Structure 1
Amino acid sequence: MADTTILIPAAALVVWTVVMFFWMLIHRMGLFRQHGINVAKMPPGAVGGDIARVAPEAKDWVAQNYNHLMEQPTIFYAACVILSLGGASGYDVGLAWFYVVVRVVHSVWQARVNVVSVRAALFVVSSLALVLLAIRAFLSVLG
């Protein structure tokens, strides 16, 4: 039987990603209004990154963070499922919660302040936790 305890921080990061999704939508609507961007007049195939061409001073940091939550955390989710099936320890669960907390702090920092040196440090710290989780997931399936 799978140990679902480690899936709780994974589910929490899923919920946080949904929060960031809605934050991005609301933020982008404001950017569009503020910079007179009419989405109906955008060329076919335009993407969020095209906002910078239309309004170079627009800070689309919330959307950039939402995109980041679609990237590296996919490894986190896989590691959590593997550890759930292989039997996660309390250390694994604590590490998973640590990863989630640092990613949430990273999200808020990037969306509101975005000083790159701090953001990079948060990314490195969360990445180290993820590397440990990935190694522990791999070891759990080796027996």
Structure 2
Amino acid sequence: MHSPILAPIVALVAWSLVMWTWMYATRLPAMFKAKMKSDPYAPRGEQMNQLPAEVRWKADNYNHLMEQPTIFYAITLALALMGEGSGINLTLAWTYVGLRVVHSLVQAVINKIELRFVIFVLSSLALIGLTFNAAMALI
């Protein structure tokens, strides 16, 4: 038997792989079109800055999915191990995943920073709720 909270973990990993695919599906053609040559001596990110912003947005979002969600993975796995992976925690986990998907779509398609920020704050509140609940379960 497994904890229900594992499903949102798998979903966010799957979404991260969707963004990885989208990133390369747009980046590689743009690099070929720009006739870019790899330069190992170029400062980090300098070459990618030559690509159109719409192409870079996908990569930026993929990188964001490797940042804060690592905390999500840790806390949801902890909740699963503590037997606290259902109820409100499951709802908060799915809320976090849903908001991260929406954040990805906003960033990858229109990149409205103000809207992204609101979505990020809301997803962070879900993460804070998960962390609070895990801490309370330990007391």
Does the 8 Å CA contact 2:95/2:126 hold for their aligned counterparts?
Answer: yes
Cα distance in 1, alignment partners of residues 44 and 17 from structure 2: 20
**Deviation of the 1:136 alpha carbon:** 1.1
Structure 1 equivalent of residue 62 of structure 2: 66
**Deviation of the 1:30 alpha carbon:** 2.1
Structure 2 equivalent of residue 7 of structure 1: 6
Does the 8 Å CA contact 1:87/1:140 hold for their aligned counterparts?
Answer: no
Per the alignment, do residues 20 and 49 of structure 1 end up closer, same or farther by CA in structure 2, a change over 3 Å counting? farther
Q: State which drifts further: 113-122 or 132-141.
A: 132-141
Cα distance in 2, alignment partners of residues 49 and 137 from structure 1: 41
Structure 2 equivalent of residue 125 of structure 1: 122
Q: Aligned pairs, how many?
A: 137
Structure 2 equivalent of residue 97 of structure 1: 94
Choose from 85, 104, 114 the match for 2:81.
85
Segments of structure 1 that go 5 or more residues without pairing to the other structure are none
Q: Deviations over 1:74-117 (max 9, x none)?
A: 11001111111112231100110010000001001100100101
Cα distance in 2, alignment partners of residues 116 and 20 from structure 1: 18
Matches within 5 A, 1:25-40: 25-39=24-38
Paired letter, 2:21: F
Paired letter, 1:19: V
Report the 3-state secondary structure (helix = DSSP H, G, I; strand = E; otherwise coil) of the residue aligned with 2:47. Answer: helix
* 1:76 has 2:72 as partner: yes
**Deviation of the 1:125 alpha carbon:** 0.5
Paired letter, 2:33: Q
- Segments of 4+ in structure 1 off by > 6 A? none
Paired letter, 2:119: L
Does the 8 Å CA contact 1:31/1:58 hold for their aligned counterparts?
Answer: no
Does the 8 Å CA contact 1:9/1:96 hold for their aligned counterparts?
Answer: yes
Per the alignment, do residues 11 and 77 of structure 1 end up closer, same or farther by CA in structure 2, a change over 3 Å counting? same
Cα distance in 1, alignment partners of residues 82 and 59 from structure 2: 35
Cα distance in 1, alignment partners of residues 46 and 119 from structure 2: 24
Report the 3-state secondary structure (helix = DSSP H, G, I; strand = E; otherwise coil) of the residue aligned with 1:70. Answer: coil
